[in-house]
């Protein structure tokens, strides 16, 4: 994920917190400077212009969910999230405008019960307006290869 | 601001928090909308059962991690979180009730007191759906 500009907005943080079942903050909405939930970095997906086109239905682009029909399996859209790690240099705060850069990490394989499992790591660095690191995220995705 | 006090903690001590009861599909929709992860495996029952071949939609791993992280932040204070990482070990389904157990694995005091919590999120059958760790700064 590489959102060039990830503005941390109070309404977005509120929606995200509610989706986790958290109580609303005192006063009903997050204030500038409040810490976002620990996994909020992942919501940068909303601001990533390259984020998988299969995951945003729009006229003219293919969508794999159901509509009039049950839908289709799109090649390359699979894979499961195996691990996620965050290192916090400081919390993400309402009012931050973050920049995200993603680099590929290590790749490895494991023999699974039903074929080869391929693991792929991605490292995303989130920096603030001053260029200081805020969060470093490492995600591991696993995909099954037909044996 | 909540925080854990170094003097109050001992290695092996644990905390339990119920993070969701009878998980609803609507919460999966809420999380999809808030996070931007619109993968239909989490919200589209027709696609997930008829095309993808699962018994029902299932939760985003990041929802389980998010709820677990919220419990850790409530316990230790959001400002005190130094790292947080997990492995997803089993799927979470609508109807699941999840509990996170945070156990103090180590307490170190090199540059300020820090506890490593070992985290285990389990469903109502006691099956672990996610395991992980969090390093949190302690107050004195």
Helix (H) or strand (E) holding B28: helix B25-35
List per-residue pLDDT tens for chain A, 147 residues long: 568 899 999 999 999 999 999 999 989 999 999 999 999 999 999 998 877 777 778 888 778 899 999 988 766 556 789 999 999 999 999 999 999 999 999 999 999 787 899 999 999 999 999 999 999 999 999 998 765
- pTM of full prediction above 0.90: yes
- pLDDT tens column, B10-43: 999 999 999 999 999 999 999 999 999 999 999 9
φ and ψ at residue B102, rounded to 5 degrees: -110, 120
Nearest CA in chain B to A35: B78
ipTM of this complex: 0.96
Nearest CA in chain B to A136: B83
Q: Using CB atoms, which residue from A35, A83, A88 is nearest to B83?
A: A88
Q: Are the beta carbons of A20 and B82 separated by less than 8 Å? A: no
Q: Are the beta carbons of A18 and B34 separated by less than 8 Å? A: yes
Per CB-CB distance under 8 Å, the chain A contacts of B38 are 55-57
Domains belonging to chain A, first-starting first, are 6-145 (3.10.129.10)
Superfamily of domain B6-24+59-137 in the CATH hierarchy: Hotdog Thioesterase (3.10.129.10)
**Helix A10-19 × helix B25-35 angle, to 10°:** 150
What are the b/e assignments for A112-132, b being 16+ CB within 10 Å? eeeeebbbbbeebbbbbeeee
Q: How far apart are CA A99 and CA A104, in angstroms?
A: 17
Q: How far apart are CA B75 and CA B88, in angstroms?
A: 22
Q: Are the beta carbons of A64 and B40 separated by less than 8 Å? A: yes
Q: How far does the CA of residue B83 sit from the closest CA of chain A (Å)? A: 4
Domain boundaries, chain B: 6-24+59-137
Q: How far apart are CA A3 and CA A50, in angstroms?
A: 8
Pairing mode, if any, of strands B81-88 and B128-137?
Answer: antiparallel
């Amino acid at each position: 994920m590489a959102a060039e500009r990830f503005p941390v907005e109070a309404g977005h943080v509120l929606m995200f917190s509610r989706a986790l079942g958290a109580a609303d903050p005192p006063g009903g909405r997050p204030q500038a400077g409040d810490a976002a939930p620990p996994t909020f970095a992942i919501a940068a997906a909303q601001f990533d212009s390259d984020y998988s086109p299969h995951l945003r239905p729009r006229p003219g682009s293919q969508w794999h969910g159901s509509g009039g029909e049950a839908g289709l399996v799109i090649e390359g859209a699979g894979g499961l999230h195996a691990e996620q790690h965050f290192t916090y240099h400081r919390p993400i705060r309402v009012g931050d405008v973050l920049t995200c850069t993603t680099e590929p990490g290590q790749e490895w394989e494991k023999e699974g019960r039903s074929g080869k499992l391929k693991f792929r790591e991605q490292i995303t660095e989130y920096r603030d307006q001053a260029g200081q690191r805020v969060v470093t995220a490492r995600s591991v995705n696993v995909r099954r290869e037909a044996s | 601001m909540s925080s854990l006090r170094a003097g109050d903690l001992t290695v092996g001590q644990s905390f339990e928090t119920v993070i969701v009861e009878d998980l609803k599909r609507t919460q999966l929709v809420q999380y999809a909308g808030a996070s931007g992860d619109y993968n239909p495996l989490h919200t589209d029952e027709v696609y997930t059962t008829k095309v993808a071949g699962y018994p029902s939609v299932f939760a985003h791993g990041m929802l389980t991690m998010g709820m677990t992280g919220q419990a850790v932040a409530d316990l230790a204070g959001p400002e005190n979180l130094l790292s947080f990482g997990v492995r997803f070990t089993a799927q979470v389904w609508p109807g699941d009730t999840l509990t996170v157990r945070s156990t103090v694995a180590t307490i170190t005091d090199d540059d300020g007191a820090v506890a490593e919590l070992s985290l285990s999120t389990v469903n109502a059958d006691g099956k672990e759906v996610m395991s992980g760790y969090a390093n949190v700064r302690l107050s004195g």
